[in-house]
Amino acid sequence: MVYLDYAATSPLLPEAIEAMHEAEQRYFANASALHTPGHLSMNKIEEARELLAQLINADSSEIIFTSGASESNNTVIRTFEGHKIITSPLEHHSIIEAARVLGGDEKPALYSYMLANNEIGEFLPIADVVKKAHKEGGFVHSDLTQVLGKLPIDVKALDLDYATFSAHKIGGPIGVGALYVKNGVPFKPLIIGGNQEKKRRGTTYNTVGIIGFGAALKYILDHKTWEIYDTKIRALRDELAECILEEIPGSSLNTDLKNSLPNILNASFEAAEGESIQLYLDAEGIVVSTGSACASGDIKPSHVLMAKTGDAEVAHSSIRFSFGLDNTEEDIDKVMAVLPGIIDRLQKISTIERKTK
């Protein structure tokens, strides 16, 4: 299998599997309990908290563990319920929909802009957003889910007030995430009724999951994975982009290779429907996506590509290739051995007239 859907989720790192297996046997006690096994579980949770704080240059007291990025995003939006909430059109649905339902006209305002988009990988002008928001007395949240491990992150240098993270994008388990909340900024818990996380998120700790998250964070720190992404992975991504443009008529890139994460490539194929391409590739053992996995099953074109291109045909004919640390040159060869033929087959049976020949 050639796996090129790391932006949707990444395979569990062996280190995370091992850490979680040990946790199931040794750190099963409720981390809020006063007895010794409870203290041992809490110590492991705090180790993971310290690792994330170190990785993003935050204080450990500013890290709240959650069930994932969507919860983290919703928590921030809920904090500003009734306030003016300004987002980019490229945000994840957990931001856009929450802001639509909960936003209002009160001040101070919240600006929520991701640093890099999950579908096309492109960077957003976060520095400009921060400057504008803070000048107005507002606050800034950034969804850094796709950035963790791919780029160095310094929340202090970025001057963020809130930031979102997820374990399963970096080789940790599904169902664990984190929220950075700068000391002193407004905060309202989404889940109430418990003293966990200093009364900022009530519910029993997912100790095993948090320990797995910690193992993935340690792997990032130990291997400086952002350097690998900037060299090896970027080269693979760019090579695939070049091959697609050279070998497949009617192909185009939706990702700006010079202004994007090094592991995401979004391409469109004229007169070829994205889901059909995905299924044909899947039959060949090649795993890709048509956009955000959170929106799978939605027949509407990607809101990200519609915002970027305004062209429904481009959006419907798009495929996202997203790379991880295990991908190789051989994976590119396997993709290009079958992709041109798949596109040609679909274009020949398409009722959509091609603009290019």
Q: Which CATH number fits domain 225-349: 3.90.1150.10, 3.75.10.10, 3.40.190.80, 2.30.30.100?
A: 3.90.1150.10
Q: Are 120 and 263 in contact (CB under 8 A)?
A: no
Cis peptide upstream of residue 108 (ω within 30 degrees of 0): yes
Q: How far from 156 is each of 51, 56, 83, 161, 214, CA to CA, in Å?
A: 16, 8, 24, 9, 21
Please tell me the predicted confidence (pLDDT) of residue 354.
63
DSSP reduced 3-state for 254: coil
CB burial string 169-183: b at 16+ within 10 A, e below: bbbbbbbbbbbbbbe
User: Is 294 an annotated catalytic residue?
Assistant: yes
Tell the residue number behind the tokens 């039959």, with chain if given.
283
Contact 49, 65 (CB under 8 A): yes
Mean pLDDT of 312-322: 94
- What pLDDT score does 355 carry? 66
At 324, list the tokens.
Answer: 């991880």
Fold of 14-223: Aspartate Aminotransferase; domain 2 (3.40.640)
Q: What is the pLDDT of residues 60-71, one digit of tens each?
A: 999 999 999 999
Distance CA 151, CA 101 (A): 32
CA angle 57, 72, 3 (to 5 degrees): 85
3-state secondary structure of 165: strand
- pLDDT confidence of 311, banded at 50, 70, 90? confident
Would the pLDDT of 295 be above 80?
A: no
- Residues 79-105 pLDDT 10s: 999 999 999 999 999 999 999 999 999
What pLDDT sits at residue 197?
Answer: 95
Q: Quote the pLDDT of residue 298.
A: 58
Q: Which of 91-100, 197-206, 288-297 has the lowest mean pLDDT?
A: 288-297
Band (256; pLDDT cuts 50, 70, 90): very high
pLDDT of 344 = 95
pLDDT confidence of residue 35: 96
Give the pLDDT band (50/70/90) at residue 185. very high
Q: Where are the domains of the chain?
A: 14-223, 225-349
**What is the percentage of the chain residues whose pLDDT exceeds 90?**
92
Query: How much is the pTM?
Result: 0.95
Identify the pLDDT of residue 356.
64
Q: What is the band of 352 on the pLDDT scale with cuts at 50, 70, 90?
A: confident
Work out the mean pLDDT of the chain and round it to a whole number.
95
pLDDT category, 300, cuts 50, 70, 90?
confident
pLDDT in tens, 258-289: 999 999 999 999 999 999 999 999 999 999 99
Task: Please answer whether residues 123 and 116 qualify as being in contact, where contact means their C-beta atoms are separated by less than 8 angstroms.
Answer: yes
Residue 244 has what pLDDT? 98
With contact defined as beta carbons under 8 Å apart, do 113 and 79 qualify?
A: no
Per-residue pLDDT of 6-51, as tens digits, reads 999 999 999 999 999 999 999 999 999 999 999 999 999 999 999 9
**Rounded Cα gap, residues 68 and 178, in angstroms:** 7
pLDDT exceeding 70 applies to what percent of the chain? 96
- Amino acid 53: pLDDT: 98
What mean pLDDT do residues 236-245 have?
98
The arithmetic mean of pLDDT across residues 123-133, rounded, is 98
296, pLDDT greater than 80: no
Identify whether the C-beta of residue 7 lies closer than 8 Å to the C-beta of residue 264.
yes
Structure token digits, residue 225: 């994975």
Active-site pick, 185, 253, 294, 336: 294
Instruction: Measure Cα distances from 95 to 70, 164, 320 in Å.
Output: 8, 11, 21
The SS3 of residue 108 is strand
Beta strands in the chain (DSSP E): 2-3, 63-66, 83-87, 106-112, 139-143, 162-166, 177-181, 251-253, 264-269, 286-287, 318-322
